[in-house]
């Protein structure tokens, strides 16, 4: 955290600044009280985003001492909430730090959107030993049949989910109307995997995509996110993140990585799609560099659109959620 001032500092202030800046301490040893004081200085919107990182940070939202620390931060402007009483229960919040209104619309009764943890996340399980993305696409198609979805539907996949979305569109063109592939290098070649290992300084892809140590996760987040503040996170926070996200079904997740059928050859082995396709990519993506997005657009055919979101990396749906959602909804509703 850095501060600057217009006036010349006194000698005492200069000495104190130098001493403070040169003092090193492990951040993972911060007490809850000190951590809450640090978090209390974050803008409200930033704090709401980072509370999804781990249980310890999330718990501060209900902490009385954290609320007290927030109240002691000078010149803190509040958020203003506006809730309408229409049938859609629309909710808006004004974020004074960003000088903008944010839509918080959330219709719990929507039945036209089905989120799926396709890569072994959540509580998804299978008795099959098949771990390929083709198998997951088949499971998704059977799920839609089981739910009685008879009309055409759209598929949206990010990262690994893009592999599944591609195969669904390829195998069932009569069922899939539109396809969104975000941050997903389905056109990757063997050399692309080798380049990723070089950028991450790792010897195998499992250590990159399924980190088991704080150091490995810090490397992954450096590739996947453009948020520089992530580099400041202490090891204790990263370890908590690993415990919650990567340890469950770890064996199956490793099998998923090894079971991917795309990217094994020296040449891309995907075909054009007959559907309308939207490709969304972050220009700073270090997992699948943005040049792959332009190459993918040429491969998938004339019905393919490409949207590049600036100053985002591999997770634009988190780093720039509002623009990401707007781009996708505009594409999906284009023919309506």
Which residues are bridge partners to 83 per DSSP?
91
pLDDT at 50: 61
Which residues are bridge partners to 282 per DSSP?
309
- Chain centroid to CA 111: how far? 24
| Radius of gyration of the chain, Cα coordinates, nearest whole angstrom | 23
Please name each of the domains of the chain with its CATH number. Answer: 24-71 (no CATH), 78-110 (no CATH), 133-190+260-332 (3.40.50.1820), 204-258 (no CATH)
Q: What angle do CA 329, 112, 131 make, to 5 degrees?
A: 90
pLDDT at 65: 81
Q: What are the respective helix, strand and coil percentages of the chain, to the nearest 5?
A: 45, 10, 45
According to DSSP, the β-strands at 100-103 and 153-158 are unpaired
Q: pLDDT truncated to tens, each residue of the chain (336 aa)?
A: 332 333 333 433 333 333 334 345 555 566 777 777 777 777 666 666 666 666 776 777 678 787 777 767 665 555 444 444 444 445 555 555 555 655 655 444 455 666 655 545 555 667 788 889 999 899 888 888 888 888 899 999 999 999 999 999 999 999 999 999 999 999 999 999 999 999 999 989 999 999 999 999 999 999 999 888 777 788 888 888 888 888 878 888 888 889 999 988 899 989 999 999 999 999 999 999 999 999 999 999 999 999 999 999 999 998 998 899 999 999 998 855
Distance separating alpha carbons of residues 143 and 110, to the nearest angstrom: 18
Distance separating alpha carbons of residues 82 and 94, to the nearest angstrom: 8
Q: What angle do CA 265, 175, 276 make, to 5 degrees?
A: 65
Kindly state the tokens that stand for 123: 């509580």
Residue 184 · residue 160 · CB < 8 Å: yes
Spatial neighbors of 297 by CB under 8 A, at least 6 apart, are 279, 304, 305, 306
Scanning the structure block, which residue is given the tokens 């620390």? Answer: 69
């Amino acid at each position: 955290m850095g501060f600057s001032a217009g006036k010349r500092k006194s000698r005492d202030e200069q000495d104190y600044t130098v001493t403070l800046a040169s003092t090193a301490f492990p951040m993972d040893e911060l007490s809850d009280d000190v951590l809450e004081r640090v978090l209390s200085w974050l803008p409200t919107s930033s704090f709401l985003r980072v509370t999804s990182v781990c249980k310890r940070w999330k718990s501060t939202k209900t902490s009385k001492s954290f609320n007290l620390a927030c109240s002691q931060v000078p010149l803190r402007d509040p958020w203003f909430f506006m809730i309408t009483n229409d049938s859609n229960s629309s909710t808006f919040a004004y974020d004074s730090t960003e000088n903008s209104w944010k839509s918080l619309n959330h219709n719990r009764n929507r039945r036209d959107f089905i989120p799926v943890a396709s890569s072994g996340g959540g509580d998804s399980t299978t008795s099959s030993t098949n771990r390929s993305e083709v198998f997951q696409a088949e499971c998704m198609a059977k799920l839609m049949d089981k739910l009685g979805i008879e009309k055409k539907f759209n598929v949206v996949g990010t990262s690994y989910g893009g592999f599944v979305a591609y195969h669904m569109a390829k195998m069932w063109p009569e069922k899939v109307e539109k396809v969104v592939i975000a941050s997903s290098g389905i056109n990757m070649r063997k050399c692309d995997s080798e380049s990723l290992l070089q950028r991450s300084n790792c010897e195998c892809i499992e250590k990159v995509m399924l980190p088991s140590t704080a150091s490995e996760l810090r490397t992954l987040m450096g590739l996947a996110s453009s948020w520089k503040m992530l580099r400041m996170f202490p090891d204790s926070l990263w370890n908590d993140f690993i415990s919650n996200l990567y340890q469950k079904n770890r064996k199956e997740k490793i099998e998923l990585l090894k079971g991917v059928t795309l990217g094994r050859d020296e040449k891309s082995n995907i075909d054009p799609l007959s559907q309308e396709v939207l490709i969304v990519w972050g220009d700073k993506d270090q997992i699948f560099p943005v040049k792959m997005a332009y190459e993918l657009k040429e491969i998938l055919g004339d019905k393919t659109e490409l949207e590049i979101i600036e100053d985002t990396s591999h997770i634009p749906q988190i780093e720039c959620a509002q623009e990401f959602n707007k781009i996708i909804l505009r594409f999906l509703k284009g023919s309506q």
